[in-house]
Structure 1
Amino acid sequence: MSDGPILIFDSGVGGLTVLREARVLMPDRRFVFVADDAGFPYGDWEEDALTRRLVELFGRLIAAHGPIACVIACNTASTLALDALRAAYPQMLFVGTVPAIKPAAERTRSGLVSVLATPGTVRRQYTQDLIDQWATRCRVKLVGSVALAALAERYMRGGFVDEEAVLTEIAPCFVEEDGRRTDIVVLACTHYPFLVNRMRKMAPWPVDWLDPAEAIARQAERVVSTLGTRSISGDFDPAFFTGGEPDFATRRIVHGFGLRTR
């Protein structure tokens, strides 16, 4: 029986949405949350440099925390570096995050789907391959948002966001064509669900916003289901930030998710 934790990793606090769902599905598991805030935002990185950073960083994280599995709760990191991580650490179980294009294609009635993501995720061949595999009968619009992840981070820390700035980022998702309208927007970044209520408010018409968190957590549950269980302890699960001790607002956020920063 393994008593190692499940490591949930993101560039910022967006991965907390995945942690929340994972705890519901796996209440008998321990978790470690790691945010690479020193590298945030990943969209500013050159791809080879970011891949090298992630491979080196996970070597240290695996050695430090002894996880039974690592959940990459970040579309950019997953679509870029998941294969490199699996090659570098073949004994480790990795669960990645990919845009929910398949379920969007299955649910859409209008045939117009938008994928709201970081520019890096939009550029990946992996994303185009998902469209070619699962959504050939749909028109999929890829929308690369430069600012939305940072807006979500600021909203989580300060409780305020410029709604007009949110509208500017999501407006390209809404397409009208031959009497049809976009009816599904895939949230292809784990930060975005924190802003979904503001997105609903500012949207020009109602759509189904696909949150990836539950699907990621379910895949993690499937992956670790054969590895044994561990009774939950009374202590808080830890959160670590690569940039050092987080500020007060960030500590408040992670404490609200039942994590400790020391």
Structure 2
Amino acid sequence: MPDPSAPILIFDSGVGGLTVLAEVRKMLPRARVIYVADRAALPYGDKSEAEIAARVCGLLGRLAERYHPRLICIACNTASTIALGMVRDVLEVPVVGTVPAIKPAAEMTQSGVIGLLGTAATIRQAYVDRLEAEFAAGKLLLRHAAPELVGAAEMKLRGGSPDPAIFARAAQGLRSQPRGDEIDTVVLACTHFPLLLPELSAAFGPKVRFIDGAQGIARRVAYLTQGQPWNGPAAGQDQDFAIVTGDATDNPALLRAFQPFGIGRILPL
């Protein structure tokens, strides 16, 4: 059994992993959490596979050695589709990844046409091809890279107002493809994107449903830690902390965004 104070480490390139943290809090309210935002390398989606793999493996190795987590959650689709296997190979700790929710989307769709919004790095991965072949056979999966949404989510969570044209472009990127007008289900294949659900819903219209993997990830985390003791903060207490890489000048605004998720401090790496 792990030490009762051993944390869960939730890792993302920025604030997107907070959507996963929120679901983990619901299932494991007594869990101690360290949230890691690698903002020095944000966004991951415009980097090569080699760059992402090296960075994620290196950072998680250092963090695991320093904080001895009971479990690591890579709350980033791009990092997971590229580096999950490598991280599992090198770390002696359970690692939960994030993958596009293609399977439940295929079960939800009525039209048989599914949209997928992600980063450029995510949508081109063979891992996504395999998910499509396994779970969406007989469906049409249309993919669109929407990197602007990452910056929009970061801005929104810090109190800014993203340009509505960003969401219109994301919708048009899927709608303009053959049979794009038949899309009734959209997979949000980046943990940042659920933070923009109201804006995306307005851009796509009322006939489109959205799905992401946050609940499924939290269920997996809860399953892998079931029966383990916890002595983390009580619900509503801001005793957990975040680690943020990069320039710290924006950290006061970032901390305000983190606080509703139970994060009370920001520390450097």
Aligned to 1:202: 203
Give per-residue Cα distances to partners, 1:139-176, cap 9 Å, x unaligned.
Answer: 00011112111111111113311111211122222368
User: Which stretch shifts more, 241-250 or 61-70?
Assistant: 241-250
Query: What amino acid is aligned across from residue 70 of structure 1 in structure 2?
Result: I
Q: TM-score, normalised by structure 1?
A: 0.93
Equivalent residue for 2:13?
11
Whether contact under 8 Å (2:142, 2:174) holds in the other structure is yes
Moved more, 59-68 or 175-184: 175-184
1:60 partner amino acid: R
- Please state whether the residue corresponding to 1:185 is helix, strand or coil: strand
Alignment of 1:21-32 (within 5 A): 21-32=23-34
**What amino acid maps onto 1:80 in structure 2?**
I
What's 2:173 paired with? Answer: 172
- Residues 200-230 of structure 1, C-alpha deviations (whole Å, 9 max, x = no match): 112245211102211111111112225x121
- CA offset at residue 76 of structure 1? 0.1
Question: Over residues 113-153 of structure 1, what are the superposed CA-to-partner deviations in whole Å (9 max), with x where a residue is unaligned?
Answer: 01111110111000001001110110000111121111111
Match of 1:237 among 234, 237, 240: 240
The answer to whether structure 1 residue 125 and structure 2 residue 129 are counterparts is no
Q: TM-score, normalised by structure 2?
A: 0.91
Which residue matches 1:73? 75
CA drift at 1:65? 1.3
Amino acid at match of 1:118: T
2:90 is aligned with 1:102: no
State how many pairs are aligned.
260
Q: Distance in 2 between matches of 1:176 and 1:129?
A: 21
CA distance in 1: counterparts of 2:220 and 2:157, whole angstroms: 26
Per-residue deviation, 1:256: 2.2
More off after superposition, 76-85 vs 234-243: 234-243
Which stretches in structure 2 are left out of the alignment for 5+ residues? Answer: none
Tell me how far apart the structure 2 counterparts of residues 222 and 212 of structure 1 sit (CA, whole Å): 15
Distance 1:182 1:175, change over 3 A: farther
The aligned residue for residue 260 of structure 1 is: 264
Alpha-carbon spacing, 1:176–1:82, altered in 2? closer, same or farther (3 Å)? closer
For 2:173, the aligned partner's letter is P
Pairwise CA RMSD: 1.8
Unaligned runs of at least 5 residues, structure 1: none
Residues 203/70 of structure 1: CA separation in 2 closer, same or farther (3 Å cut)? same
> Residues of 2 paired with 1:239 and 1:178: CA distance?
43
2: distance between equivalents of 1:179 and 1:7?
Answer: 38
